[in-house]
Amino acid sequence: MNIMKLSIIVPVYNRENYIESCLKTLLQIQSDEIEIIIVDDGSIDNSLDLCRGYEKIDIRINVYHKENGGVSSARNYGINHASGEYLMFVDSDDMICVETISDFMKKKWDKDIYLFDYYTDNGELSYCKRDLPKEQENENFLLHAFLMLKNNMIWNNIYKTS
- The whole-chain average pLDDT of the chain stands at 80
Q: How far apart are CA 131 and CA 145, in angstroms?
A: 9
CATH number of the domain residue 40 falls in: 3.90.550.10
Instruction: Bin 128: left if φ > 0, else alpha if -120 < ψ < 50, else beta.
Output: beta
Residues 6+ apart with CB under 8 A from 67: 42
Between 44 and 109, whose confidence is greater?
44
The 10s digit of each residue's pLDDT in 52-64 is 999 999 999 999 9
**pTM of the full predicted structure?**
0.77
**End-to-end alpha carbon distance in the chain:** 17
Residue 159: name the closest of 126, 103, 116 by CA.
116
CA-CA distance, 15 to 42, in Å (whole number)?
11
For 133-151, how does the pLDDT look when each residue is reduced to its tens digit (9 = 90+)?
Answer: 444 555 555 555 444 444 4
Residue 135: left (phi > 0), alpha (psi -120 to 50), or beta?
beta
The pLDDT, as a whole number, for residue 68 is 98
Res. 99 pLDDT band, cuts 50 70 90? confident
* Helices and strands (H, E) in the chain, number of each type: 5, 8
What is the number of structural domains in the chain?
A: 1
Domain that holds residue 114: 4-160
CB-count exposure of residue 156 (10 Å: 0-12, 13-18, 19+): buried
